[in-house]
Amino acid sequence: MIQIHNIRDRNDQFEAAVKYFVQQWGSEMNANFYRDCMELSCITDSLLPRFYIALDGDAIVGSCALLRSDMNSRQDLEPWFACLYVAPEFRGRKLGTELQNHAIKQAKQAGYNQLYLCTDLDTYYENNDWVFIGYGYSFNGDRTRIYKHE
């Protein structure tokens, strides 16, 4: 059975989690960025950031995060749902929906009534009650879709 854990609660999986996030979302050039953010998320008293892993036994098969900001041009919005990834062999089993719902629940428990995300996907998030609210722009000028969940 797959279980979702905050990396704060799974020190035994920390190194594997950093490697997983970097493989899916980073590069060798920004691996220290992910490590630093994830390490600090484990010791801060702040509600954000938080990083979550989906475990099948001891194997990480999915991830997501709650961040203070995921789009620098939209500093007016927080928190952000980010880093959703499901290993290809686990797709089609609703694990992506489970990770979204887990993060939404965690955000609500932390006192946030809204949650945002940015993506290039057109229809995936609408299936889980995310509402398209407009476009934002990354540092390199790329346009991306912004969604809100209440």
User: Which pair of structure tokens corresponds to residue 40?
Assistant: 């600090």
Domains detected in the chain = 2-149 (3.40.630.30)
What pLDDT sits at residue 37?
96
Beta strands in the chain (DSSP E): 2-6, 50-56, 59-67, 80-86, 115-119, 131-137, 143-149
User: Which pair of structure tokens corresponds to residue 98?
Assistant: 């489970």
How many helices and strands, by DSSP H and E, does the chain display?
3, 7
Q: What is the chain's length?
A: 150
Q: 114-133, pLDDT tens digit by residue?
A: 999 999 988 899 999 999 99
The pTM of this model reads 0.95
- The rounded percent of the chain whose pLDDT value lies above 70 is 100
Q: 44-75, pLDDT tens digit by residue?
A: 999 999 999 999 999 999 999 999 999 888 99
Amino acid identity for residue 53 in this structure: I
Has residue 12 got a pLDDT over 90?
yes
